[in-house]
Amino acid sequence: MTTTPPRQQLGPAPNARRHIPPRLRGILSLGDLEEAAKRVLPRPIFGYLQGGVEDNVTLQANVAAFRKWMFRTNVLVDVSARDQGRTLMGQAYRAPFGIAPMGLCAMFAFDGDVVMARAAEAAGIPYVLSGASLTRMERVAQAAPTCGWFQAYIPGEQAHIEGLIQRVEKAGFKTLVITVDTATLANRENNVRVGFTTPLRPGLRLAWDGLLRPRWLLGTLGRTLASHGMPHFENAGAGRGVPIISRSVVRQFGLRDHLNWEHLALVRRQWRGKLVVKGLISATDVMRAEQAGADGVILSNHGGRQLDGTAPPMLVLPEAVKAKGRMALMLDSGIRRGTDVLKALAQGADHVFVGRPMAYAAAVGGQAGVAHAITLLRDEIHRDMALLGVGNLDQLSTDHLVAT
C-alpha cells in the first residue's frame, strides 16, 4: 500500500498575517509604505516628507547606490542559530539598524515622535529624536529610556550650545548626535511646489487637502490640537521654541553657518555621554571627527535634502572605514531592504539608520505601523543571512560583495 506524501505548504499559511492590523496587511516591504502614506497625508505634508532638493539627484542616487553591489553567497553553512544582534558604542541592540532623526513627525502621525520611540524601545533598536521635532525631548526620553538618542542642530553660539547640552543631559539621553551638514537652508523647491512652508501658513490648499483626508485631519491634527495645543519646535534650545505657525522659525534655526570644529570641541568638553557626528561624507571629515573626540559618526547626505549632487554614503563608505579609527561608523540615506543593510555592514559599517519609511509607517499605522516596519526589515535580514550563508553579522566582509 502506498501513501501520498502530504503536500508541501508554499508561502505563508492562510492565517499567518491575521495578527497584523487590517490596514497593515498589504504592507509587505518598506517600499509599500510610501504609497500607503500618500493616501493618508495631505499633499503638502507628504510632499515635505517625500521630497529632496532641486532635481532630486542625490535622493535617487542614495537608493541606487546599493544596487552597485551584488552578493557572493556561501552554501552548505549551518545558519540555524543565526543572530543579528549588534553592540554599538558599548550598548547591545537586537538588530543592526535604527530609526534616523526626522523633524515634524508629530505632523505625520499623532504623537509621531513618541510612537516611533516606543516602537524602537520595544524592538531593542536605537531611535534618534530630531532637534526639529514638535514633541518635548523629556517625553520622548521617557518613551525610550534605553534606546533613545538626541540629535541637535546647533548654531555657532556658545551659550546656546551649553544650555541645550544641559537640557539633553537632564532629560536622560546618553547619546548626543550633532548634525553638521546644515550650514544654510537648502533649496527645497519641492516644498514650494506642493504648498509646504516653514513656518506653516494655513491656506486653501492645505485646508482642502485636509478635508480630503479626514483621517489625518481628525486623527492627527485634531487630536494634536486637542491634546497638546499648537505644536511648537520644542527642542531647538534650552527652552521651548517657537510655534510651527510663526514668523520666527527661520531666525531660530539660523546662524548655523557660524558652526565650525571649535564648536564641536566645545560640545565634546561639555557633553559627558557618547558623542556622534552626523552629516559627514568624506574620509577627511571622518578623521577630523575622530581627532575631535567623537565616539561615532553617521555618514549621511541628509536623505538627499541638503546639497543636491552629494555622493551617497554607501559610495564613500570604503574610504571612511580606513579613516574611522576607534569610532563607530554608521550611515543612513537610502536603506530600504534587508539586503541594503547587509551590503553596508559587509562594506564595514557598524550600524545603519532608516528614515522616511519609518515616518510613513507612523502615518499609516501609528506605533503598530512602526513596529510592523521594524519587523519587516528584521525578518528580511534574518532570511537574507541564511541565504547568504552567515550565522552572525561579524562574519560579513567585502568577500561577500561583487561590484557591478
Assess if residue 15 is contained within a domain: no
Q: What is the pLDDT of residue 158?
A: 86
Residue 311 lies in a domain: yes
Range of the domain at 69: 39-188+251-403
Tell me how far the alpha carbon of residue 61 is from its chain's centroid: 17
> According to the annotation, is 356 in a ligand binding site?
yes
pLDDT in tens, 80-127: 999 999 999 999 999 999 999 999 999 999 999 999 999 999 999 999
Decide if 16 is inside a domain: no
Q: Is 72 annotated as a binding residue?
A: no
Domain contains 268: yes
Burial of 348 (0-12, 13-18, 19+ CB in 10 A): middle
Q: Say if residue 334 carries a ligand binding annotation.
A: yes
Total of domains in the chain: 1
User: Buried b / exposed e across 367-384, counting CB within 10 Å, b at 16+?
Assistant: bbbbbbbbebbbebbeeb
396: in domain: yes
Beta strands of 37-147 (E only): which ranges?
69-71, 86-88, 91-93, 97-99, 127-129
Positions in the chain short of pLDDT 50: 1-14, 251
* Residue 243, CA distances (Å) to 240, 248, 282 in order: 9, 9, 36
pLDDT reported for residue 14: 47
Tens-digit pLDDT profile for residues 49-70: 999 999 999 999 999 999 999 9
Strand, helix or coil at 283?
helix
Q: Say what the pLDDT of residue 4 is.
A: 41
CATH (domain of 297):
3.20.20.70
- 3-state SS, residue 73: coil
Query: Going by DSSP bridges, is the β-strand pair 328-331/351-354 parallel, antiparallel, or unpaired?
Result: parallel
137 in a labelled binding site: no
For residues 274 and 88, what is the distance between their CA atoms, to the nearest angstrom?
11
Assigned domain for 218 exists: no
Single out the catalytic residue among 232, 302, 351, 400.
302
Instruction: For the chain, give the longest Cα–Cα distance.
Output: 88
Is residue 99 domain-resident?
A: yes
Looking at the whole model, is its pTM more than 0.75? yes
Instruction: Give the pLDDT confidence score for residue 319 in this predicted structure.
Output: 98
pLDDT for res 129: 98
Does residue 10 lie in a domain region?
Answer: no
- Identify whether the C-beta of residue 294 lies closer than 8 Å to the C-beta of residue 275: yes
Q: Distance (Å, rounded) from C-alpha 323 to C-alpha 287?
A: 5
**302 classed as catalytic:** yes
Q: How far apart are CA 62 and CA 345, in angstroms?
A: 16
